Amino acid sequence: DTGVSQDPRHKITKRGQNVTFRCDPISEHNRLYWYRQTLGQGPEFLTYFQNEAQLEKSRLLSDRFSAERPKGSFSTLEIQRTEQGDSAMYLCASSLVKRDRALQYFGAGTRLSVL
Amino acid sequence: RKEVEQDPGPFNVPEGATVAFNCTYSNSASQSFFWYRQDCRKEPKLLMSVYSSGNEDGRFTAQLNRASQYISLLIRDSKLSDSATYLCVVKLNTDKLIFGTGTRLQVFP
């Protein structure tokens, strides 16, 4: 499978715990994005990287959230001290920026439930 | 006001019908436009980009009206497998996508 891969697919945690999600982009893609989607809503942008540089962060990304892409390949999204409001699907996407066009392809997501 | 607005539906149509979805966006600086399809509890999948001149991909036709800040998607000869949520998406001059809440389509036999 050469698509965007996310792990784990599901995560159940108790309020106050830390969780970390991983995303492996399509291999030649240089940009990687994180979105969050709650029931009945479209995905909302969180942050994105070009190679290892984090280029933009949404105001939705509170100080409990941190994302890294240390070697410009896979990325991790960590949520510290989880709250029930963090329950959502966390989607990763990747793209190859080419001639100013960059189509984003999504992974299957990590579904987080905070109890 | 939401940046991208769509009628949530559901649109219930019989097989073979033609159905149209509309979407409006608020930021006139929006540069790129897309339709994504999302099946229940799955990830969004790119259906098609939308160009100013309008574009067609098989049974799907997308139109963009920059003056009215309006995007449409037309599906002809609906199939049962077209049942999904259709997400209208715009991109500004940064690389983040801004999604509408989606329009749910249910095609029945």
Q: What average pLDDT score do residues A4-22 get? A: 97
Angle at B60 between CA B57 and CA B63, to 5 degrees: 95
* Residues of B in Cβ contact (< 8 Å) with A33: 95-97
A29-72 confidence digits (pLDDT tens): 999 999 999 999 999 999 999 999 999 999 888 899 999 999 88
Phi then psi for residue B42, to 5 deg, are: -120, 175
Q: What is the mean pLDDT of chain A?
A: 93
Q: What is the pLDDT of residue A105?
A: 93
User: What are the backbone angles phi and psi of residue A9, rounded to the nearest 5°?
Assistant: -80, -30
**B27-81 per-position pLDDT tens digit:** 988 889 999 999 998 999 999 999 888 899 999 999 999 999 999 999 999 999 9
CB contact under 8 A, A108 and B87: no
Instruction: Map tokens 């999302």 to a residue.
Output: B38
In angstroms, rounded to a whole number, what is the distance separating the alpha carbons of residues B49 and B75?
A: 15
CB nearest A42 (choices: B43, B49, B99): B99
Give the 3-state secondary structure of residue A71.
coil
Nearest CA in chain B to A33: B96
Question: pLDDT tens digit string along B90-103?
Answer: 998 888 999 999 99
Q: Which of B16, B14, B65, B94 is nearest to A104 (CA)?
A: B94
| Residue B105 in tokens | 């389509």
Runs of H (alpha helix) within chain A: none
Please identify which residue in the block is written with the tokens 């982009």: A25
